[in-house]
Structure 1
Amino acid sequence: MGWLEKTPPQGSLIFQRRWVRLDADYLKYFKNDKMVFSKRIIPVTMIINVGRVGEQRFEVVTPNRIFLFRAESKLERNEWMMALQDTMWDQRQCGNITIHPPSHMQGLLELQGHSKIYTVACIDKVFLYRNAEEFQAGIGITSIEMNMSAVKDTDRRAFELITPYKTFRFIAESSEAKEEWVEAMRSSINESFSSHEVAKKIWSMESNRFCADCGKAQPKWAAINLCVVICEPCAVEHRRLGSDISKVQSLEADKKVWTDELIQLFLLLGNEQANVFWAANVPPGNALSPSSTSEDRESFISAKYQEGRYRCYHQHFGHQEELNNALCMNLQTNDVLETLCLVFCGADVHCDTGCSAFPTPISLAESYNQALQAEFLRQNQNTHIPSPELRHHVGKAPVIGTASITRRGYLFKTGSMTKPITTRRGKEEFSQRWCTLNCDKFSYYVNEKNSSPNGELKMKEIACLAVNPPEKHGYAHTFEIYSTSGRLYLFGADDLLSVREWIKSIAKAFIPLSAGDIVCMDFERIGKLCYRDELNVQDPQVGYFSLAGTMLHGSLEGGERMDIDLRKLNELSSLKQNTVLALVDSSRTLQIESEQKLDFLGWSAAIKKSVQCTGNILSQQQLTHLNVPVIVDCCISYTAKYGLTLEGIYRKSGVNSSITTLLEVFRQDARRVRLCEEDHNVEDVSGVLKRFFRDLEDSIFTSQASPQWLGTYTIREVSQRAVQYQSLLSSMPPVNKATLQALINHLHCIQHFADINQMSQYNLAIVFGPTLFQTDGRDSRASQVVEELIGHYVTIFSVNEQELQKQLEEIRLIIKLQGKGVKQIKSPHIICTVYLEEREETCEQHVKIPDNMTAAELVVKILAQSKISLNEQECWSCFEMNEREGTERSLHYQEKVLPIIHSLGTEKILLVKRNFTMKAMLSYLGKETKGWRSGVMKFREERTLLGCGSFHDRFFVLSDSSLRLFKEVQSIRPEREWPVKSLKVYEGIKARLRPPTRWGMTIVSEDDRKQSQRWYMCFETQIDMIEWMATFMSIQHKGNVWPEEYTQVE
């Protein structure tokens, strides 16, 4: 259903907007989406053709009239056409060619407010037509459901048909005719409570039109827990089994039983699929026929369902724990046939799922929105399952698993190829083929009568399955199969549902059960790849991956599950001559490769396309690890660094052409953009930020929630408005929420320096209100809401005030260093948190730190605050610690503390503690006279994280000016050389790099452009490490490693 525009019957070119609804039997259109009764009703059986007319229009052709509709887009037009064609196909498959359903009475009646109309009282509906000619053509005005209607006799010739939505007042030509009409309509009401509607829906699937046991046509009964449709003679034998084995229900009389979920369950499986399990091993002589005797039926049905003699046994049959585990895993997918097989082979529908939040299989299925899985389990909560001991009756029965998935039907295919498909393939390049999927292979034939296939692929030969975007080739929906032999096969059809089912079936067949959870996703690509990560950099391992939108899901060896949000990648690069793809995010580094170049090129192109920004939708941008678009983060950071003291920042406009160019560069690949003061004007960067928000398809507040945000300002109490803002904030999409907080934080900081930049809360709100709400500026509420978000930022966003104060102090320092606004900073101190001995809240020390405070002075002050006295036997130092990486650096006692504080970030802290290695270092330096050091150590560079990184032996020489690296001791020329003064030495190496020894150092070098690089050295003993660290410190500080005594701080 949805909005379409259509031309009136007079042929006018003026389109009228109508709400259109399509069900299994009728196409109806209404004046609006609130109306219950249609303006026109068209039986699907009367539609001859559905065709395209121009860019967005399509026509529905009936024998007597052509209806012309127009959709809002080409894509929407195609979806409507496909839905209509599918419904027409279903009607023809059911053999339903009847225009008029059976009726109790028909003829002309006068309808109050109208002239006479042709009225037809059918079994469960009343149809209204303009005249008898339209009735013959099948095109009506509307239909009235009789199951919620009542008939009231009101006058000699008049009567009323009362519905919950409207009362229809009819006038007959005579009192006798009125009595007949009233009786006919009351009969329709009675009939509506026992209609054939359920049967019609169930029979819409071809296999359900014949009894699952004997094959008799038009079966009117079903065993709802066994998922089979049966005829009345077989239903009698099913009832004899008892309701704990077979729950028999009528398709006609028991309408309340047939919920939408249960009907959908029977349409999903159908007798054909159900018998893949129940009748997999029926001996030819034992099969029933419509003419079978009741004795034969009793014997066969008992053997089939009570004993399970003909079942297709699951591979885990007889192993309860494996069956239960497989059941819990499969409930996360939409494969109900697999669940049926598991349950009737012994899986416990009441087993413990191992998940405390969803402890039962039913609750687990519901948590994954698998309504049909849950419905099947409910129907079988008390079903008796045939015991495993019965298996010996049937000898060697087939085992059901991925290999038992079957499917057959026509597809269109091109010739196989060995190169990627780079051009559109027209319909003339495809040939129709009869395709089958069974056992462990996919085969295709010239037609369904041929016994010898034109070609076939075993499941183990399939490396990858890729789904193409609609309309990429001549047939609307296509998919590609990549084989391990390096060939590519292209298949397709115009029927979306058919192609989807083929894709799911093939995926389930070649992806192992252990990786089954990645099959149930709406993937664009799925298959087998080799991978390496930090824990395995030498030998590649095999994993199964699926690409769904911007998410790469992987099932790795050992059952490990991996999910990478491609929007948040720090780096994506091709290695080894474009045969390996490296993906680096904040938590891991992954390399993927394929044994076949053709397969790898497909994966590489698909992943790189997913990483790119695909439009002006906020959630589709490249993101930071905090869910903020990279473009927003870059612009905010740059403006905070260079624009805080700029008068009128965000109010002044940049150069339009420069803004357009820079915005386009960001949209191509935001992660590669590097903003610098020499090349980028602050006004241009701030203009990019504003235009980015203005150009979004939907505002950051979303079009749906914007009225609620704007309406909040009408609440009188400020505290109540804050609560409402918090409520709206909590319901925002994650990316929108994170982005809004980052922006408001930035604006809140800017208004703190309004005495310099002249941008108060009000001025900022005037700029960003219309921008964020995407209004024309006339609605003042937009600016008022943004002003309140800035002013009450701490309360609305639940911000830690200490963290905010620290951020503001950092900004003040930046301003001071830039030589601007120094007079506005009232205090030369900042308050900083330093920890004493441990990272615990009880160990926090808050201390004022002036610009010139040294590490030694900070140590003395911290110890004095804690009343700890110094003695000559102990050495106390201030350490810069990175808890995440497990590294630390002892600050030199003369090193200034304030610059270190402003460079810490969120992962580092300052910690004052005893320096247990200092005495050993001083002892070594007291004996050592040469002032340099050399030796062989294990070495690794940071960039090798993207390659096959590992530690290798290298020879190092540390002199008074440089650190040089040689490949071997005998080498003459160094491979690398660094100035000693540019190096920072940290004790420790992050654990995920798997250092070969316990004693290692992380070396950080910084070049003239302030870009840093890390590399790592490992030592055989702790003594070696201490001596190297002592030599580093001695050279960097010209032998002045430790003070003679501490200087007291006033």
Structure 2
Amino acid sequence: MRTKSTNLQHDRLSQSKSMVLLDPAEATKPISRHRRNLSQHYVTDKPVHKGFSVNQNKEGIINKTKISDKGKKLRKNWTTAYVVLSEERLEFYKDAKELTANLKSGTKSEYIDLRGAQIEWTKEKSSRKNVFQITTESGNEFLLQSDADITVQEWFWAIRNTIDSLGTAQPFLALGVNVRKSASTEILHHGFELKEKKNEQRKSLVFKLNYSASDSSDINRVKTRLKKFITRRPSLKTLQEKGLIKDQVFGCQLATLCKRENITVPHFVRMCIEAVENRGLDADGLYRVSGNLSTIQKLRFVVNQEEKLNLDDSQWEDIHVVTGALKMFFRELPDPLFPHCFFEQFVEAIKIPESDRQIQTLRKLVRQLPPCNRDTMKALFEHLRKIVVNASTNLMSTQSLGIVFGPTLLRPENDSGNMAVCMVYQNQIVELMILEFNAIFC
């Protein structure tokens, strides 16, 4: 026969997934030590709300890398760190000895401020398994990883509970409730707050359904008025003639843009080329490395709204943002820099086996292009030639630039042929025009 132990009730509570102890005295009772892994359980004596996920002080070894510093992308550099999770932040040390030394000397370590941070699993940011990402309120991004499934799960939920707790515990301190939680539990429910929100959503849904049922005739009248308005609205051409809508820079026909600016090379193209040549010719992977997409879109918006643009401004500091915007400009041209009607002729020219005749044919084709295409092409390839001259520092050869700019500058009007073969010819045309720039353009 089994005898009832005075600790039986407490042991059952500690082994369950999650439990709220209504009696604060219960938390002081001794905890059974027969568990397989005591580090997966923790107890807090802080009075918190019933639905509040408890913070856990935790430390151990995990792999980490920083991939973004305030929106600026960084190269992944995985390192093994001794990590300490405290109430508000995640601290990194080389090992436990450095932690002890820093505590004695008062030296500050590298850390992540978890206030306002976000945490999520990610598979796209790294080829490693068990990777999760922490994004801080200031825009820094970190990846953490461990090959041990249990270890990485424990870290993920411990950090998530800490993030959830920051800034939410104070309103519930007066309730005087202790929480006991195991690491296998993902998150506690939000108690009566969740029920209240659900009730409000149901009431709102019922109201909308009743409204739509009783006022269907009003909705039909609104639909009729909208149809009349749409059919009577002025055309885009009319609005452009009145000056109410202006042509944008991105996505505009090259000839239209040059005519509007009264030049043969768009002002934006000139600005990007000058910015790259002044401060980015030695940047590793120039035009190959992608800049921050949100910053590129912001730059595009500024250009399209005809706002005063200064590429030396600190917000465009990353040269890969400038190169990304220039590539996007050429990629979004309705008719590419090498016009659709010339595509087959350029492909036939690159197939010519004799080098001299090949160059002469390309030279004739370039001279037949519209002035805006020819002059913009000349400015771009002269710029790409300067990049190849600095290939020892930026690691961008003619072949690399051909791969980047081939599909961007040359596109068939109908993608009906062999795309792989077509891409080879596109790359070869760009490479040859960089190498034989003087013979083709001068």
Normalised to the residue count of structure 1, the TM-score between the two structures is 0.18
Please identify which structure carries the higher helix content: 2
User: Structure with the greater relative contact order (CA < 8 A, sep ≥ 6): 1 or 2?
Assistant: 2
Report which of the two structures shows the higher radius of gyration computed on alpha carbons. Answer: 1
Normalised to the residue count of structure 2, the TM-score between the two structures is 0.42
